[in-house]
Amino acid sequence: METWRVPKALAIIPDGNRRWARSHRLSILNGYSIGVKKFIEFGEWCKDYGINNVTVWAFSSDNVSRPSEEVNALFSIYKKVANDDDIRNMLHRNKTKLSIIGERRLLPKDLLKSLHKLETETSMYKDRVINMLMGYGGREDLLYAAKRTARAIAKNKRIKFEQYFRDSLLSNSIPNLDLIIRTSGEMRLSGFMPWQANHSELYFSDKLWPDFAKSDLDSALKDYSSRNRRFGK
């Protein structure tokens, strides 16, 4: 493998599961199930490259408006994965912390319980993190921080405004993102992590998420490595 400059913090917007399922005459449930398995592979690929902070947009706040049977099917897949001993053992073997970020009230209690258990069991790991965005929306993230900051100001707290706002985000544990990859040919962020994406490099792949291969990650990382990041300077 060539020597590439790899991102310290990478995010993936795994789009195209439903379209992939329809194109293969499979159920939406099958498409999501294969998409989740793909992310598990993706996490392993990132580990091989030494990328130790990976964020996946697993369920957006907008997804709640999709048909209830589709949303419930996706929740059932996530619950099954969260309770899978092989997944648990893999996280421990790789010393990987799982962090759940988003509006938890949007998740069913049984799923939240399973995810929280896995999150707690891996909380001791520091060097490698997988951030799973569940019930997450960028506007909601900013509004949440704005409300907390406004309450602090109303109570006459002495704060450093920008730092307090940053620390008040639902996503405050996620560092600034070096690279964001979105699949399925969609060339937009859809409100994805507006604070951390300020100076992110963007890479859009035409592949539907279940078809995304390690060679596609290779192409994204090679492209990222060739860019001159100036951070507005």
Rounded CA-CA distance 80/114 in Å is 9
In 3D, which of 55, 32, 40, 92 has the Cα closest to residue 192?
Answer: 55
| Dihedral pair phi/psi, residue 26, rounded to 5° | -115, 165
Residue found by looking up tokens 């192409």 in the block: 219
Contact (CB, 8 A) for 177 and 196: yes
* Residues known to be catalytic: 15, 63
Kindly list the strands in the beta sheet with 128-136, ordered across the sheet, starting from the edge strand earlier in the chain.
96-101, 128-136, 53-60, 9-13, 179-182, 201-204
Please give the structure tokens belonging to residue 115.
């995810």
